[in-house]
A and B are shown apart, each in its own frame.
Chain A
């Protein structure tokens, strides 16, 4: 309940006391975190979360475990905030391995001076995303650092999930002849963040695509259990995933540029800035590689799910004649280019 948190002063800001181990910290944990992340009576506050092994063992034969640190400027953007990212990112990293997400941890580094209202919105977004994904946030930690030691708020989430015995998804399992799919438009998150920073003065309706993909993945895997490879296409975009796929599976990935689904506004932002949507970040998009005979079924299955309505077949895997993995982009003019990853971020061009 807002207002019951102690130590925030009249302006409602986080102070160093909220990380000091005393009553202000206790109050922050109770009033902000526990009230959002637990339902019903507060759970026992031990130093660790305890997961029942018997239940886990019934759900699969391998445990999946992943971690991710989240930093984003601005903290809140159309379509979500850093909290949405922190839950969806880790859920998606579990899901694309074929794992059913079970539990998450969340660690926060807060800057002194952070508005309490922002923190509450972030935490509420985490709770909503976790509920959407059907996963619990079971343990966490908070530190407060001096004003200039951190940009507002950093979140680290880790997650565990269980993999069913029938799935052996791997980035190295792509076979010549396989077909590459994506579940929707490319670069929505990256473009939305660029515009949300406000220094472009571009008026758009772009929203981050941030979403937990585990129900989409579950639907896909029940329809097509022999998906060979799957990755969520976050930093580095779909291009990054395709490069890793080509290298790990040692295949030639041929992408049909005309088939890439791109939102018209993202296309416009990219035109103006000289960026390529293939390289822009996504937070609710995955690349799936399936045997050719399953491609149509996989596509139809994805398209039947709300997070896969704009799914598309974007390319194929072939034997690499050079013996080395590579990605080729074929355009409508019949020309082809080699996809090379930039060493860092794409930078907007001058004119």
Chain B
């Protein structure tokens, strides 16, 4: 656990919190409204709640929890597509563990498995390809999801399948990209977030340059951050120092992992295998132009949608859930009337309750602990 534990040192956290308080106090002298900083990534949301960082902040500093949890924003209709394919004769449908519990319209993939579909959990798309090799008489489908973090491994798996001429393997592609969604949020007139804690794993692939527009066009600072509590606190401090100075720059706190130019090999694999989808649906946010990836025509023989001729399902989000308002920082999770009533981690009706990295699930799990704190 080297290079992990060091970033959980409570004494260093206290020192960072003290500095955050000083900057917050100075900012508060000239500004009435609280400062809102959005952590984009679900992994950051989880760390914030896991360590109770949100409760240690000065009164005029708030976190808003962004849309960067790929499992949360998985639309219900897409789960239905996967379930439809899983029930086709001879199909083995594979995906990541936490995607299996996400409810679609008719249930989750776990429930589809109980109903007789052959649904299997894999840790990597290469595991799915290995299943295809081992089961030549079956059709193995990998339900591919995630941001640029996981898109390269899916792309490389498609290239490997092509090189080996494996014909019983295909992917149901639900890879998405964060940049168009950040732009869509920033273009909303009532978007009040003052700065961003940028995603660490996505940036490891795409680098820091794609965020430049946030600083240049929208005058907000963004600091790419690691996932440990000290990473988050240091990044928050860096954002606040920029806000105090009236700056708007992209900075990189996670330099031990993220190179400014990202990972060129991974980006090349993405460019070779995918093209941008015209529009992609995000659970809780709706359709966002240019935010999804699909296989290029060149690789269409590995496209499960085409192979199984699935007509995409479109299912509306629960009306009473206000995931979009939480994602844009307008409300906190408990202000949604469904929170804890009709929507809980065991029975999620809204996107943000689905995964432990969703803001509502994290809030549900870690809050309301007055007597022990």
Closest A residue to B145 using CB positions: A350
Residues from 327 to 373 in B contacting A, C-beta threshold 8 Å = 345-346, 355-357, 364-369, 371-373
The answer to whether the Cβ of B8 comes within 8 Å of any Cβ in the partner chain is yes
Nearest residue, chain A, Cβ from B362: A337
Whether B99 sits at the interface, judged by CB under 8 Å, is: yes
The residues of A that contact B99 with a CB separation of less than 8 Å are 350
Which of A66-74, A141-149, A155-163, A264-272 lies on the face that meets chain B? A264-272
Q: Is the CB of A321 within 8 A of B371?
A: yes
| Chain A interface residue number, banded | 20 to 34
State which size class the interface on B falls in: 35 or more
B201, CB-defined interface residue at 8 Å: yes
A350 touches B49 (CB 8 A): no
Interface residue stretch chosen among B51-59, B134-142, B163-171, B277-285 = B51-59
Please pick, from B4, B13, B52, B346, the residue contacting A337 in the complex, using a CB distance under 8 A: B52
B100 on the interface (CB 8 Å rule)? yes
> Interface 1/0s, chain A 155-175, versus B by CB < 8 A?
000000000000000000000
Instruction: Give Cα A273–Cα B334 distance, bound, in whole angstroms.
Output: 29
A199 interface contact, C-beta 8 A: yes
**Bound-state Cα–Cα, A271 to B56, Å:** 24
Chain B residues whose C-beta falls within 8 Å of the C-beta of A132 in the assembled complex: none
Contact of B1 among A271, A335, A340, A342 (CB under 8 A): A271
Chain B proximity mask over A331-351: 1 for CB below 8 Å, otherwise 0? 111111110101110011111
Q: How far is the CA of A200 from the CA of B123 in the complex (A)?
A: 7
Q: Which of B1, B43, B121 has the most CB of A within 10 A?
A: B1
- Judge whether A340 and B372 touch: CB under 8 Å: no
The verdict on B183 contacting chain A, using a C-beta distance below 8 Å, is no
The one of B150, B229, B367 that contacts A333, using a Cβ cutoff of 8 Å: B229
Across the interface, do B97 and A347 meet the contact criterion of CB distance under 8 Å? yes
Could you say which residues of chain B place their CB within 8 Å of the CB of A349? 71, 96-98, 355-357
Is A330 part of the binding interface, using a Cβ–Cβ cutoff of 8 Å? yes
Q: Tell me whether A199 and B127 are in contact (CB under 8 A).
A: yes
Contact of A335 with B101 at beta-carbon distance under 8 Å, contacts A252-B371, A321-B371, A349-B356 already known? no
- B93-129 contacts to A, CB under 8 A, are 96-101, 110, 121-123, 127
**B residues near A264, Cβ cutoff 8 Å:** 1
* B103 nearest CB across to chain A (Å): 12
* Apart from the given pairs A332-B10, A333-B229, A349-B357, 19 other A-B contacts in the complex at a CB distance below 8 Å: A271-B1, A328-B369, A334-B10, A334-B52, A335-B51, A335-B52, A337-B50, A337-B366, A337-B367, A344-B101, A347-B121, A348-B96, A348-B97, A349-B97, A349-B356, A350-B71, A351-B43, A351-B70, A351-B147
Residues of A with Cβ closer than 8 Å to B?
A: 199-201, 252, 254, 264, 267-268, 271, 274, 321-322, 328, 330-338, 340, 342-344, 347-351
Closest 6 CB pairs of A and B: A335-B52, A347-B97, A328-B372, A337-B366, A348-B97, A336-B372
